Structure 1
Amino acid sequence: MIEISSDKVVQVIFLMREEAAGEKQLHAFINGLNDDEKAHLTAIAWVGRGAFEADAYAEAVETAYAEATVPTDQYLMGMPHLAENLEAGLEALGVDVAGEEADLM
């Protein structure tokens, strides 16, 4: 169902929260994702923000593909509370974010 590894999503969360990382690393990381991963990353953020329910995840992904009019990194970096939205989205989709974050450290 989710076509981006949870460790990549957690990496985005980590980079958003890491002040010393700077925006360039996060932009580069998101730009390095393939189109499927970018759409799924956006959909996860939307689920976490409450724009879509977890059971409408497939619809969120379709919408992310259809509405991708600006580069994904720019769109997501402009989203208030991106890290929190991604974390909430993963949790709503049944992914253990705390376990993934522990693995990253």
Structure 2
Amino acid sequence: MLEMNPDIVCAIIERAREFHAKEEVVITEEPGSPADDWALQVLADHADDLTYQDLKTQIDDLDPEQQVQLVALMWMGRGDYEADEWNTALAEAKDNWTPTTAEYLIATPLVADYLSEGLDMLGYSCE
């Protein structure tokens, strides 16, 4: 199961909602691989945004294993995996981890909803 404090995920969800709610944030459809540099290109226009910087720092400050768990949660919440496939999602996320994981997550449309749904699937809640 989840090996990080769900409160950390909830804080990231809250900050991601703040960032994505801004009118000027436009994120295109995502490609299939987190290794693609599309996230860097999409987010380049937002580099000076304090909400973006705070969110990116929150994710970058996590250790790689926690970042992997965030990606796996997002994929579960997006419908790529079921709750009983958590270990498979983790293994796939670990295989695809890069130093730009924060950008990948932030540039994913509906990331906050996906993370929230992933938490729910594992029996956690931000409420």
Taking structure 2 as the reference length, the TM-score comes to 0.72
* Deviation (angstroms), 1:30: 0.2
Larger Rg: 2
1:51 aligns with 2:48: no
Listed as ranges, the gaps of 5+ residues in structure 1 are: 99-105
The one-letter code sitting in structure 2 at the alignment partner of 1:18 is E
- Residue pair 1:45, 1:82 contacting (<8 A) in 2 also: yes
Residues of 2 paired with 1:36 and 1:58: CA distance?
13
Deviations 1:64-86 (A, max 9, x none): 01012451101101111000000
* Sequence identity (%): 33
TM-align CA RMSD: 1.5
User: How far did 1:51 drift?
Assistant: 0.6
Whether 2:7 is the aligned partner of 1:7: answer: yes
Q: Which protein is richer in helix relative to its size?
A: 1
TM (normalized to structure 1)?
A: 0.86
Among candidates 99, 102, 107, match of residue 78 of structure 1: 107
Residues 7, 126 of structure 2: 8 Å contact kept: no
Q: Distance in 2 between matches of 1:70 and 1:64?
A: 13
Deviation per CA, 1:49-68: give whole Å up to 9, x if none: 00111110011011001012
Deviations 1:14-52 (A, max 9, x none): 101224861000000000000110000110111100011
**Counterparts of 1:18 and 1:69 in 2: how far apart (Å)?**
25
* Structure 2: segments with no counterpart, 5+ residues: 23-49
